[in-house]
Amino acid sequence: MLNNYTLFKYLGVTSASNESPKHELQSLKEKTKTGARILASPPLTRYQSHIYLNTHLQPKIFHPLTTTSLSLKQFESLKKTYINQVISKCGYNNKWPKALRHGMTYCGLDFKDPSTEAIIKKIKGVQSLF
């Protein structure tokens, strides 16, 4: 029997018996900090940085979001750990408007927002049950 503070990891998602999302948030922040350090490395080009973001970093971040319930404030703190490094490494100014960072039309950068992706994944999960 697990007590309320014992952490366990199942299918890449860290959680505790008391259903507190702070452990998963801490785990996600560590992953994003590691990804930001890799993006900061000099040999990566703009194209390679964009490929790394879409094929490695974002899947690591977005996979556990279907099972966690983070608040918008927690999503913002998670996004702050990597988004500025991603924008600058892809060759854009860090002052790029937030509305265009995540949009695809009107010259948007098409970076995925974690809070929006979590909602989309949860809706798709409910749809698959029906």
**How many of the other CB atoms lie within 10 Å of CB of 92?**
15
CB atoms within 10 A of CB 112: 15
**pLDDT for residue 99 is more than 70:** no
* pLDDT digits 0-9 by tens, 56-89: 888 888 877 777 777 888 888 888 888 878 878 7
Q: How far apart are CA 20 and CA 2, in angstroms?
A: 14
pLDDT at 4 exceeding the cut of 60: no
- Report how far residue 23's alpha carbon sits from residue 30's, in angstroms, rounded to the nearest whole number: 11
Higher pLDDT, 126 or 98: 126
| Extents of the domains making up the chain | 21-129
pLDDT-derived band at 115 (thresholds 50, 70, 90) equals: confident
Q: What is the pLDDT of residues 21-48, one digit of tens each?
A: 677 778 888 888 888 888 887 888 888 8
Cα distance between residue 54 and residue 60, in whole Å: 10
Mean pLDDT over the full length of the chain:
75
